[in-house]
Amino acid sequence: MKSAIPEAGVPISPPAAGNGGDRQEASLHGEILLRLRDYVVEGNIPEGARVPERQLCEMLGISRTPLREALKVLAAEGLIELLPNRGARVRRLSPRDLEELFDVMAGLESLAGRLACEIITDEEIVAIERLHYEMYGHYLHRDMHGYFQTNQQIHESIVAAARNEALKATYANFAG
């Protein structure tokens, strides 16, 4: 699978001094977390394998501190296991783990769909339809990375159309 992190690495810019630094720091953290989560979920580090911190720091253009903060979040999400004084490794998911995750996701998406159907706008329907055709184009070109990213955007759009903040936050924790 193609990684969301480029081979040569694209450093993530640190916040500019005196220019909304706290907000930029939060977005920097979010960007690191998003890219790292994608990298793990796409299978670029095999299940059970150690997380190559030095390599990831080089690819992301960051120091170990922000990487370790992102790893803590991924550990809380169940994707990573933190090994005391030995780094981290990608968690092995058992068939039962996967079954439970799919049950929860199915329930959340069912609720999102039901709520969205009650209040979705024509513009939102058109936007989701556009994403569907974009996803189909990725499928035809055998671009699985683009396909899965667009598929995720469709699901997130339906959750957003439900206009339920608690559902949105819960979904974000599971869908990552």
> What per-residue confidence (pLDDT) applies to 136?
97
Q: Locate the domains of the chain by residue range.
A: 21-90, 95-175
What is 95-175's CATH topology?
Answer: Four Helix Bundle (Hemerythrin (Met), subunit A) (1.20.120)
83: which 2 tokens?
């090994």
56 pLDDT more than 80: yes
- Quote the CA–CA distance of 130 and 13 in Å, as a whole number: 32
What is 21-90's CATH topology?
Answer: Arc Repressor Mutant, subunit A (1.10.10)
Please, where are the H alpha helices in the chain?
21-41, 53-60, 64-76, 95-119, 122-140, 144-161, 165-175
Going from the C-alpha of 58 to that of each of 36, 46, 48, 88, 171, the distances in angstroms are: 13, 19, 22, 17, 31
- Quote the CA–CA distance of 61 and 164 in Å, as a whole number: 36
Q: pLDDT tens, 79-136?
A: 899 998 889 999 998 889 878 888 988 999 999 999 999 999 999 999 999 999 999 9
> What per-residue confidence (pLDDT) applies to 42?
81
To the question of pTM greater than 0.75 for the whole model, the response is no
Whole-number percent of the chain with pLDDT over 70: 84
